[in-house]
C-alpha cells in the first residue's frame, strides 16, 4: 500500500477525491432537505452535452460542461418556481436533449469510445494537479459562502415561504445554491462520471440521516463516510482493475443498504 500511495497519479486521485468528498457531502444536506435529487440528476446529465461540445470544438470540455450545467440548473429552477411546466417534465426534456446532443457530438469526434466512457463513468486516476487546484479553489469559495449564509440557506431549505415573509432574499439563495451544485457536478465528473455524479450528492445525507437527525451530525458523518468510501473505492478499483467511479458508488450504496437493513432489524427487536 505504501508503494501505491507513492505513485503521483494515485496521490492526485486521493487528494482530489478527499476535497470533492467534503464539498459534495455539504451540498448533499441541502439537496436532501430540498428533495432535489431529480434536479441533481438533470444537471449531471446536462453536463454531458457541454463536455461533448467542448471536446468536439477542441476547447475546454470543463468550461463548456460548467456552462451547460449552470444554464440547465437555472432553467430547471426558473421553471420550478414559475410553475409553467411540471418540474419533472422540464427536467426530463432538458437532460434528454443534452445527453442526445452529447452522444451525437462524441460520435462525430475521433477516439469517441474512450472519451465517451471517461465522460460517462469517470476515472479519478486521471485527475491532474491543475484539476486539484481548480477543485480546491471552488471548494473553499463554496464552503465560505455556505458558512457565511448557512442559517439563511437552511431557513430557505426548510420553509422557503416563511423565509421570504421573514425578509430573506430567497431567490438569491435559491439560485446561488443551484449554481454551486451545477459547478460541483461538473467537477465531480472525473471522480465518478456524469451518470454517477448525482449519486455522490445524494448518498452522503441519505446515509447519515439514518443515524443522525440533527444537521451537524449529518454533515460530520457525511464528510467522514464520503472520504472513507472514496479512498476505499480508489484502492479497491486499483487492485481489482475496476472503474473507480462505479466502485465508489457501489461501496457507498452497499453501506447505505446495509445500514437501512440493520436499522429495520433493530426496530423489530
Percent of the chain with pLDDT over 70: 93
Give the pTM.
0.88
Q: Mean pLDDT lowest for which of 55-59, 120-124, 130-134, 168-172?
A: 120-124
171 or 62: whose pLDDT is higher?
Answer: 171
The proportion of the chain whose per-residue pLDDT surpasses 90, expressed as a percent, equals 34
Q: Do 204 and 222 meet the contact criterion of CB atoms below 8 Å apart?
A: yes
pLDDT at 219: 94
pLDDT band at 260 (very low <50, low <70, confident <90, very high): very high
Q: For residue 70, what are the contacts with CB-CB under 8 A and spacing of at least 6?
A: 179, 182, 183
Mean pLDDT of the chain: 85
Q: Angle 23-257-250 (CA atoms, 0-180°, nearest 5)?
A: 60
Query: Please, what are the domains in the chain?
Result: 2-268 (1.10.3470.10)
Alpha carbon dihedral 240, 244, 249, 254, in 10-degree steps, equals 10
Q: Output the pLDDT for position 117.
A: 64
| Residue 143: pLDDT over 90 | yes
Q: Bigger pLDDT: 183 or 196?
A: 183
Report how far apart, in Å, the C-alpha atoms of 75 and of each of 39, 70, 107 are.
11, 8, 27
Find the radius of gyration of the CA atoms of the chain: 19
Instruction: Work out the pLDDT band at 169, boundaries 50, 70, 90.
Output: very high
User: Please, which pLDDT band fits residue 85 given cuts at 50, 70 and 90?
Assistant: low
User: Which residue's C-alpha cell is 432553467?
Assistant: 75
Amino acid at each position: 500500500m505504501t508503494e501505491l500511495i507513492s505513485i503521483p497519479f494515485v496521490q492526485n486521485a486521493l487528494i482530489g477525491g478527499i476535497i470533492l468528498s467534503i464539498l459534495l457531502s455539504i451540498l448533499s444536506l441541502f439537496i436532501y432537505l430540498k428533495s432535489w435529487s431529480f434536479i441533481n440528476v438533470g444537471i449531471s446529465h446536462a453536463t454531458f452535452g457541454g463536455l461533448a461540445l467542448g471536446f468536439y470544438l477542441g476547447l475546454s470540455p470543463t468550461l463548456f460542461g460548467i456552462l451547460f450545467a449552470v444554464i440547465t440548473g437555472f432553467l430547471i429552477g426558473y421553471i420550478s418556481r414559475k410553475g409553467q411546466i411540471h418540474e419533472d417534465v422540464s427536467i426530463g426534456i432538458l437532460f434528454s436533449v443534452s445527453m442526445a446532443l452529447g452522444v451525437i457530438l462524441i460520435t462525430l469526434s475521433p477516439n469517441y469510445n474512450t472519451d465517451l466512457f471517461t465522460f460517462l463513468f469517470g476515472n479519478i486516476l486521471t485527475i491532474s494537479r491543475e484539476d486539484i487546484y481548480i477543485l480546491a479553489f471552488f471548494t473553499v469559495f463554496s464552503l465560505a459562502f455556505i458558512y457565511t449564509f448557512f442559517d439563511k440557506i437552511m431557513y430557505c431549505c426548510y420553509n422557503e415561504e416563511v423565509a421570504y415573509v421573514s425578509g430573506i432574499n430567497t431567490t438569491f439563495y435559491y439560485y446561488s445554491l443551484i449554481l454551486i451544485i451545477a459547478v460541483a457536478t461538473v467537477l465531480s465528473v472525473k471522480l465518478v462520471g456524469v451518470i454517477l455524479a448525482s449519486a455522490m450528492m445524494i448518498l452522503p445525507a441519505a446515509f447519515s440521516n439514518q443515524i443522525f437527525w440533527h444537521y451537524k451530525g449529518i454533515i460530520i458523518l457525511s464528510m467522514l463516510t464520503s472520504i472513507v468510501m472514496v479512498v476505499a473505492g480508489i484502492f479497491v478499483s486499483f487492485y481489482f482493475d475496476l472503474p473507480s467511479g462505479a466502485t465508489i458508488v457501489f461501496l457507498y450504496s452497499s453501506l447505505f443498504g446495509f445500514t437501512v437493513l440493520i436499522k429495520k432489524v433493530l426496530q423489530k427487536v
